[in-house]
């Protein structure tokens, strides 16, 4: 796994619409046992796109989504509620105070969250 990815606070996820058009979004994440994990509101476009097509690309990025490292290919797997709750806590434990406030605000606006595991593909 790329060292820049491990040191980054954000990854840029590139998911795909039904038309094949790529959509890039910066997200908070964590790494555990060689897999990358992130969470997002269950009603987000990312969830809809990943349920239709779990293949994606990811790269380390800035808060605004500027890619600062190499792209990696992966396949996302949606986690069940129990595992999602564990991953949400794990990801949030990496956040600073400002990011925790932002995460809380996003959660209040968009509601329930779901987590995904990304298995990297060579």
User: How high is the mean pLDDT of the chain?
Assistant: 87
Please determine, for residue 6, whether its predicted confidence score (pLDDT) is greater than 70: yes
Superfamily assignment of 3-121 in CATH?
Electron Transport, Fmn-binding Protein; Chain A (2.30.110.10)
- Report pLDDT for 95: 64
Please determine, for residue 20, whether its predicted confidence score (pLDDT) is greater than 90: yes
Give 59-84 as a 3 state SS string.
EEECCCCCECCCCEEEEEEECCHHHH
Q: What is the mean pLDDT of residues 83-105?
A: 73
- Report pLDDT for 88: 82
* Nearest in space to 11 (alpha carbons), one of 80, 76, 108, 104: 76
Domain locations along the chain: 3-121
**Cα–Cα distance for residue pair 117/77, rounded to 1 Å:** 5
pLDDT bracket for residue 112 (50, 70, 90):
confident
Strands annotated E in the chain: 10-16, 22-28, 30-32, 35-41, 55-61, 72-78, 113-121
Give tens-digit pLDDT for 36-88.
999 999 889 999 999 999 999 999 999 899 999 999 999 999 999 999 888 88
b vs e for 3-24, b when ≥16 Cβ sit within 10 Å of the residue's Cβ?
eebeebebbbbbbbeeeeeeee
Residue 98: partners with Cβ closer than 8 Å, 6 or more residues away: none
- Report pLDDT for 101: 63
Predicted TM-score of the model (pTM): 0.85
Residue 46: partners with Cβ closer than 8 Å, 6 or more residues away: 13, 15, 23, 25, 27, 40
- Report pLDDT for 99: 59
pLDDT bracket for residue 113 (50, 70, 90):
confident
């Amino acid at each position: 796994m790329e060292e820049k990815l491990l040191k980054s606070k954000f990854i840029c996820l590139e998911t795909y619409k039904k038309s094949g058009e790529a959509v890039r979004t910066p997200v908070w994440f964590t790494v555990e046992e060689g897999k990358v994990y992130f969470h997002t509101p269950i009603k987000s476009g990312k969830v809809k796109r990943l349920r239709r097509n779990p293949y994606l690309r990811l790269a380390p990025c800035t808060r605004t989504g500027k890619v600062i490292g190499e792209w990696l290919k992966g396949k996302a797997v949606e986690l069940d509620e129990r595992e999602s709750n564990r991953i949400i806590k794990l990801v949030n434990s990496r956040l600073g105070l400002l990011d925790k406030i932002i995460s809380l605000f996003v959660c209040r606006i968009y509601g329930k969250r779901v987590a995904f595991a990304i298995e990297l593909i060579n």
